[in-house]
Structure 1
Amino acid sequence: MNKNLLGFWLYIVSDCITFSVLFILFLSSNSFCFKNLIFNYRTLLIETVLLLLCSYLSIKVIKNKKNKYYYLNIIFSIIFLLIEYKDFYHLSKINLSYYTNNYLSNYFVIIGFHALHVIISILICLNLLFLNTIEKNFKINNIIFSIFWHFIHIIWLCLVLIIYIKK
Structure 2
Amino acid sequence: MSATSAFAPPDAGRKPAHEHDPYRVGRGSGGDNEATGHGSGGPSPKRIVVGYGFWIFILSDIITFSTFFAAYAVLKDNTAGGPSGAQLFDRGSVGIETVLLLLSSFTCGMAGLALRFKNLLWFQVTMLATAALGVGFLVLEVHEFAGLIAQGAGPSRSAFLSAFFTLVGCHGLHVTVGILWLLTMMAQVFAKGFRDDIIRRTACWALFWHALDIVWVGVFTVVYLMGVSA
Q: In which range does the TM-score fall when normalised by the shorter chain?
A: over 0.9
In structure 2, the residue matched to 1:109 is 166
Determine the structure 1 residue equivalent to 2:142.
85
Given that residues 110 and 126 in structure 2 are in contact (C-alpha distance below 8 angstroms), is that contact kept between their aligned partners in structure 1?
yes
Structure 2 counterparts to residues 130-149 of structure 1, below 5 A: 130-133=187-190, 134=192, 135-137=194-196, 138-149=198-209
| Alignment partner, residue 128 of structure 1 | 185
Cα 1:129–1:30 change in 2 (3 A) is closer
Alpha-carbon separation, structure 1, partners of 2:168 and 2:50: 28
| Residue identity in the other structure for 2:195 | K
1:55 maps to 2:112: no
Per-residue deviation, residues 10-43 of structure 1 (Å, max 9, x unmatched)? 1101101100000000001142563222111011
Task: State whether structure 2 residue 160 is matched by structure 1 residue 95.
Answer: no
Retained in 1: the 8 A contact 2:76–2:163? no
- What letter corresponds to residue 137 of structure 2 in structure 1? F
Alpha-carbon distance in 2 for matches of 1:120, 1:57: 18
Task: Please give the per-residue CA displacement for 1:97-148, whole angstroms capped at 9, x wherever unaligned.
Answer: 1111111000001111000110011111111102213141254333322221
Counterparts of 2:223 and 2:91 in 1: how far apart (Å)?
A: 12
- Residue 16 of structure 1 corresponds to 62
Alignment check: 8 A CA contact 1:98 1:104 kept: yes
Q: CA RMSD in A?
A: 1.5
Which structure is larger by alpha-carbon Rg, 1 or 2?
Answer: 2
Deviates more, 1:25-34 or 1:5-14: 25-34
Q: What's the counterpart of residue 43 of structure 1?
A: 93
Q: Deviations over 1:79-111 (max 9, x none)?
A: 111111100010011101111111100000111
TM-score, normalised by the number of residues in structure 2? 0.69
Q: In 2, are the aligned partners of 1:58 and 1:142 still within 8 Å (CA)?
A: no
List runs of 5+ in structure 1 lacking aligned partners: none
Amino acid aligned to 1:159: V
Contact 2:153/2:161, CA 8 A, preserved across alignment: yes
The number of residues matched between the two structures is 167
Query: Which residue number corresponds to residue 151 of structure 1?
Result: 211
Contact 1:61 1:142 in 2 (8 A): no
How many angstroms apart in 2 are the aligned matches of 1:11 and 1:57? Answer: 23
The structure richer in helix per residue is 1
User: Structure 1 residues 123 and 20, CA, compared in 2 at 3 Å: closer, same or farther?
Assistant: same
Name the TM-score, length of structure 1 as normaliser. 0.93
Instruction: Specify every segment of 5 or more residues in structure 2 that has no aligned partner in the other structure, as ranges.
Output: 1-46
Query: Could you tell me which amino acid in structure 2 is paired with residue 59 of structure 1?
Result: G
Instruction: Report the equivalent of 2:74.
Output: 28
